[in-house]
Amino acid sequence: MKDTITIIGAGAVGISSAIHLQQRGWQVTLVDRREPASETSWGNAGVINPASFVPLNNPDLHSSLGRYLRNDTASLRFKKAHLLRNLPWLLAFLQASKTRPARHNSRALHSLTSQALDEHRALMQRTGNAHRLTESGWLKVFRHGGPERAAKSLDSFSGRLMREMGIDIRVLSREELQEKEPALRPIFDSAYQLMVGGVVDNPGLMLREHAMQFVADGGTLVQGEVSDITESESGVSISLNGNPHQSDRVLIAAGPWSADVLAFARYRVTLAVERGYHAHYALAGGPTPVHSVHDIDGEYIVGPMTGGLRLTTGVELAPRDDSSNLSQLEQVEPRLFEAFDIAGRTDEPVWRGARPTLPDGVPVIGALPRSERLWVNFGHQHIGMMTGPVSGKLVAQQLSGETPDTDMTPFRPSRWIHKLRASREGSWFGQRLGG
Ligand SMILES: Cc1cc2nc3c(=O)[nH]c(=O)nc-3n(C[C@H](O)[C@H](O)[C@H](O)COP(=O)(O)OP(=O)(O)OC[C@H]3O[C@@H](n4cnc5c(N)ncnc54)[C@H](O)[C@@H]3O)c2cc1C
């Protein structure tokens, strides 16, 4: 009889893990309270770029901290009270921005991002949706300073690390940039292009197509809410829409809700979210861009999508479920209008998502401490659409007793996840918060 596994969360990470487990002979049930890929995996910038392996908390952050503390930039906004409530996360996040840990964490992430493109191509081949990926690299554009500034920006911690890891980068003059991306207005002085990777034209639909292929291949997809998890010697029972559902193993891939789901199983994790927004825009005319463009001075990312140009915003550190605050979007919108020939914003509502981020920026992938039946794969911060398939492969290899293609030590869940002990009064308390 096949081993059974239930995956909680059908985002980029859960769907990819489901397919890789199915390919290894597991009987997989994929559960989500919404349609697959309806949350964080729906609205991202669609960038798949192996160079995106340096987490935000690296030494380059230090020179911008003063500016960020003003709390008025489009790159970063925060709610002070929220940060104070999440002080252990914040302090560990800042600690990890020092040179040594940042190098270590970047290398760990590079072991994922370097395989990401191949793993995406393999899934797309299987589903038949390879047309969704345009491999045009990634443009980082500068409004002033000339090619010297673009080149100098690569003297940074992340630039040096990218070169060290063999990332192919070309500095472009104003004219070269115009030739490469004629949809951009000639307001940019220079750029650099990351030559590998590209942009997906609709990340949410791509993932839904993968999920449908998983079902066509015999997988089970259930729409339902998980509200409890009980592990025993014979298996794991979850409460699914209030009814018990049993399997040999459970994999938690609930993205920004993973702390809530872990609490059902009496575990605690140091997880925070970095909120972000997107809106779509129609072009007034002229060519459609073929690149994802990061306007460094404008502080936004924009890329061509099936719904028009999708603008995505920077980071907002605020409670996951607080109502939306559109100030960052409103701040960057005029800058987008300067950069492209835009007719206007489409009338779709502005989308909000929450990047799930552990203090070191490195996801947790593997079995939970003191458990053989409960597994996790979450914490993919800004790059989870890209790293979903490779992390899905790695967790499936681990679960199936194969030697994973990558050293999994940096991803061990015990860094940030701890079992809660029952007190005599019957309540639960943590042994330790953070690693
Ligand atoms: C503005 C923005 C831009 C981004 N750009 C990029 C990019 O260009 N490239 C990139 O690679 N990444 C990008 N990201 C990051 C990426 O989107 C995330 O890292 C990734 O989507 C996380 O996927 P996930 O599967 O872990 O989480 P999710 O997609 O959020 O999936 C988790 C699922 O768990 C389900 N769930 C939660 N609790 C329960 C429960 N109790 N019962 C049942 N189901 C439950 C939810 O409904 C949800 O569908 C971006 C993110 C944002 C916000």
The model's pTM is 0.96
Does the C-beta of 147 come closer than 6 Å to ligand 1?
Answer: no
**What confidence score (pLDDT) does residue 423 get?**
56
- In the block, tokens 């193993």 appear at 249
Atom 2 in ligand 1: residue holding the nearest Cα: 44
Q: Is the CA virtual torsion 426, 428, 432, 435 positive or negative?
A: positive
Ligand 1: centre distance to CA 155 (Å): 32
Alpha-carbon distance of 284 to 214, in angstroms, equals 39
Nearest CA to ligand 1 atom 35: 9
CB 48 within 8 A of CB 42: no
b/e sequence 19-29, b meaning 16+ C-beta within 10 Å: bbbbbbebbbb
Taking a C-beta distance cutoff of 8 angstroms, is the pair 410, 108 a contact? yes
Residue 8 Cα to ligand 1 midpoint, Å, equals 12
Give the whole-angstrom CA distance, residue 176 versus residue 173.
5
CB-ligand 1 contact for 112 (6 Å cutoff): no
Beta bridge partners of 228: 239
Rg for the chain (alpha carbons), in Å?
21
Instruction: Name the residue with tokens 């914040």.
Output: 90
In sequence order, what are the beta bridge partners of 268?
A: 418
pLDDT score, position 138: 98
- For 314, how many CA atoms within 13 A lie in the half-sphere containing its CB? 23
> Ligand 1 within 6 A of 378 CB?
yes
Digitized pLDDT (tens) for each residue of the chain, 435 residues in all? 789 999 999 999 999 999 999 999 999 999 999 999 999 999 999 999 999 999 999 999 999 999 999 999 999 999 999 999 999 999 999 999 999 999 999 999 999 999 999 999 999 999 999 999 999 999 999 999 999 999 999 999 999 999 999 999 999 999 999 999 999 999 999 999 999 999 999 999 999 999 999 999 999 999 999 999 999 999 999 999 999 999 999 999 999 999 999 999 999 999 999 999 999 999 998 899 999 999 999 999 999 999 999 999 999 999 999 999 999 999 999 999 999 999 999 988 999 999 999 999 999 999 999 999 999 999 999 999 999 999 999 999 999 999 999 999 999 999 999 999 765 544 444 433 332
Look at residues 257, 206, 193, 245 and name the one whose alpha carbon lies nearest to residue 9: 257
Q: Is 410 in the pocket of ligand 1 (CB under 6 A)?
A: no
Taking the CB of residue 262, how many other CB atoms lie within 10 A of it? Answer: 27
**Closest ligand 1 atom, CA of 352?**
53
Task: Calculate how far, in angstroms, residue 14's C-alpha sits from the geometric centre of ligand 1.
Answer: 9
Residue 300: name the closest of 145, 76, 137 by CA: 76
